[in-house]
Amino acid sequence: MQSEQQQEYNRLTEAANETLNSVAESGTFLHVFSFWRLPAFEDHVRTTLYTPRRPDSGKDPFVSITTWKREDDFNKLRDPVERLKHPKELKPTIDEASKILDPEDASKVIEDLSAISLTSLRPTEGVLGLDGVGYRFSFSQGYFSLDLSWWCDRPKVWQEATSRIEDVVSRLHRAKPKLAEQDGAGQPATRSESK
């Protein structure tokens, strides 16, 4: 990739990261947590769990999955001829999907996350990473919150906690969507769109 293309890719990366870091708020839903998976050479994904603010609202929890199609955007810049096939000002290719969850599944996820503990907030070993996967987890409950980041070669003292977080998020991705449609301001059972 040449210098001009590298600069354009850097701008695209910055715009994509801004989108991934902007977690949407909702008046009727509570943002429970967000989890980012940021591999060096693959698509970046943010997974966010929302639950109804009022349990008696008749609305169901849902998971939102936002993906930056990084490889697609990189391919647009691979060579000058390919670049000419796309708009002058490139915007990141973002795919957004959501899935309504059974309230019991969402409650179990929240319960499992609440049971995770960190034995130490300050790892003693240093980690140097170049190629691999970065992770970020942000959890909020009332006045308490946690924002934790780690590399694929995680600190030993965080091994259990970070593995359990990754497992919980993986379960959300595999969860079957609830079949009933939401009404009013709720989200559809499944939805996917690219921007």
Contact 106, 49 (CB under 8 A): yes
**pTM summary value:** 0.83
| pLDDT given at position 14 | 93
Write down the pLDDT at residue 107. Answer: 92
- Name the burial class of residue 33, with classes exposed (0-12), middle (13-18) and buried (19+) by CB atoms within 10 angstroms of its CB: buried
Going from N- to C-terminal start, the domains of the chain cover 3-194
Q: What are phi and psi of 186, to 5 degrees?
A: -75, 170
Residue 127 pLDDT:
65
How is residue 134 written in tokens? Answer: 């970065």
Q: Which residues, 6+ apart, have CB-to-CB distance to 69 below 8 Å?
A: 43, 92, 93, 94, 95, 194
- The helix/strand/coil state of 166 is helix
Percent of the chain beyond pLDDT 70? Answer: 88
Please report, for residues 6, 39, 152, the alpha-carbon distance to residue 132 in angstroms, rounded to integers and kept in the order given: 20, 6, 6
Element (H, E) at 3: helix 3-21
Q: What separation in angstroms does the CA of 33 have from each of 48, 106, 146?
A: 6, 11, 9
pLDDT in tens, 33-51: 999 999 988 999 999 999 9
Strand partners of residue 194: 95
H or E stretch covering 29: strand 29-39
Instruction: Give the chain's residues under pLDDT 70.
Output: 1, 124, 126-129, 179-195
One-character DSSP codes across 64-113:
EEEEE-HHHHHHHTSSHHHHTTS-SS----EEEEEEE--HHHHHHHHHHH
The contacts of residue 56 (CB under 8 Å, 6+ apart) are none
